[in-house]
């Protein structure tokens, strides 16, 4: 609802405030600077808000923080019971260490195969010497072709055996490396699953609300706490009839329910693009021009969004205006006036009278 912000009008009209507050039945129009504003209600939010949500199910074993505590992104905030998952992590760690042991160059699996390769090479060298010797004997017809072919076949088999054993070592190392890699992946998965039982915040900020207590069963997807980060903002509800007059960077004057005296200044920083069906209002946000660190989260407030200023406007007390926008001047005659901005205390007069006339209250006649 559009209004003239009373605090600002009061400040700008100190010189004529007696006219509104006195019991006099007459007054004269006065000049003053007035402000055109849109009223909005709302409450305090933070620039960032993160809900700490459980990714696993378990009983809340320990809470490391309380409401009002500042936390860093990633630090553990809550611990859920995780006996089974802890065993899974231990088993995955043991499997990974076993895979690394087998991959080591001194592992029994590799040492045994390397010994087999050495024996195969020794046998190959022996068969090679026999092959060369028999080759010379064959040339001198000291042995038969059949005896030579037998020695040759034995040497060729020794060569193939060395190749087979060396390939077997390469395959073994490759298999052990793959096993170690898979074991590491499984360990990472189990540690990641285990980390789901340590609940943390994705942002740095202050713990605004803790919704669960130790001993309570936490189900997957439940919100355990709310973290607020960044600057304090005013979340304002604006009616449908006024939203077209709201723009970015407009000045906002805010009165907090927790502060009996004083006002805070802010400016519009965000206008939500759609109508909120729950609140039956449009929503805008305003950032404070000065530090708001001492303002409590969710504090209720009233605000006036300044949409215009009028300097040196002609105004009269509202009780001197008759129905139909007319006034009674001295002598008793009703006189029509064109009015502008209005509130419960003051009415802007655009035309119809000047500062020289004397006006009577309707009840005075």
CA distance 303 to 234: 9
Q: Is the pLDDT score of 16 beyond 70?
A: no
Q: Which residue would you say has higher pLDDT here, 342 or 68?
A: 68
Q: Is the pLDDT score of 145 beyond 50?
A: yes
CB 337 within 8 Å of CB 349: yes
- For the question of whether the overall pTM of this predicted structure is more than 0.75, the answer is no
Q: Which residue would you say has higher pLDDT here, 343 or 226?
A: 226
- pLDDT, tens only, 315-361: 999 999 998 899 998 777 888 999 988 877 889 999 999 999 999 88
Predicted local confidence at residue 365, as pLDDT: 53
Question: Three-state SS for 340?
Answer: strand
Predicted local confidence at residue 20, as pLDDT: 40
Predicted local confidence at residue 343, as pLDDT: 75
Q: What value does the CA radius of gyration of the chain take, rounded to a whole number of Å?
A: 44
Mean predicted confidence (pLDDT) in 302-316: 91
Report the candidate in 69, 341, 53, 361 with the shortest Cα–Cα distance to residue 196.
53
Mean predicted confidence (pLDDT) in 1-8: 41
DSSP-H helix ranges across the chain: 6-12, 17-21, 83-103, 108-139, 145-195
Query: Exposed/middle/buried for 333, CB within 10 Å: 0-12, 13-18, 19+?
Result: exposed
For a pLDDT cut of 70, what percent of the chain falls above it?
A: 93
CB 200 within 8 Å of CB 76: yes
**Predicted confidence band at 19 (pLDDT cuts at 50, 70, 90)?**
very low
């Amino acid at each position: 609802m559009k209004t003239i912000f009373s605090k600002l009008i009061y400040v700008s009209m100190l010189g004529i405030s007696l006219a509104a507050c006195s019991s006099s039945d007459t007054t004269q129009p006065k000049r003053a600077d007035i402000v055109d504003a849109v009223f909005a209600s709302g409450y305090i939010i933070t620039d960032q808000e993160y809900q700490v949500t459980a990714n696993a199910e378990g009983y809340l074993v320990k809470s490391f923080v309380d409401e009002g505590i500042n936390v860093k992104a990633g630090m553990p905030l809550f611990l859920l019971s995780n006996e089974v998952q802890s065993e899974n992590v231990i088993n995955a760690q043991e499997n990974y260490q076993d895979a690394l042991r087998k991959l080591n160059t001194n592992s029994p699996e590799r040492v045994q195969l390397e010994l087999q390769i050495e024996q195969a090479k020794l046998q190959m060298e022996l068969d090679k010497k026999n092959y060369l010797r028999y080759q010379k004997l064959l040339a001198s017809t000291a042995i038969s072709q059949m005896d030579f072919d037998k020695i040759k076949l034995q040497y060729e088999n020794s060569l193939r055996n060395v190749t087979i054993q060396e390939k077997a070592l390469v395959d073994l190392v490759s298999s052990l490396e793959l096993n170690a890699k898979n074991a590491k992946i499984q360990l990472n998965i189990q540690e990641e699953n285990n980390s789901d039982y340590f609940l943390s915040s994705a942002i740095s900020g202050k713990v605004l609300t803790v919704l669960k207590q130790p001993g309570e069963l936490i189900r997957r997807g439940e919100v355990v706490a709310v973290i607020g980060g960044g600057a304090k903002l005013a979340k304002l509800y604006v009616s449908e009839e006024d939203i077209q007059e709201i723009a970015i960077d407009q000045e906002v004057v805010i009165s907090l329910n927790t502060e009996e005296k004083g006002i805070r200044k802010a400016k519009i920083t965000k206008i939500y693009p759609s109508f909120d069906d729950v609140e039956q209002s449009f929503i805008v946000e305003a950032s404070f021009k000065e530090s708001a660190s001492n303002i409590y989260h969710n504090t209720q407030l009233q605000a006036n969004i300044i949409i215009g200023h009028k300097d040196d406007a002609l105004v009269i007390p509202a009780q001197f205006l008759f129905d139909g926008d007319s006034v009674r001047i001295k002598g008793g005659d009703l006189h029509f006036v064109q009015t502008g901005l209005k509130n419960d205390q003051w009415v802007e007069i655009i035309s119809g009278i000047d500062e020289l006339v004397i006006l009577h209250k309707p009840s005075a006649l």
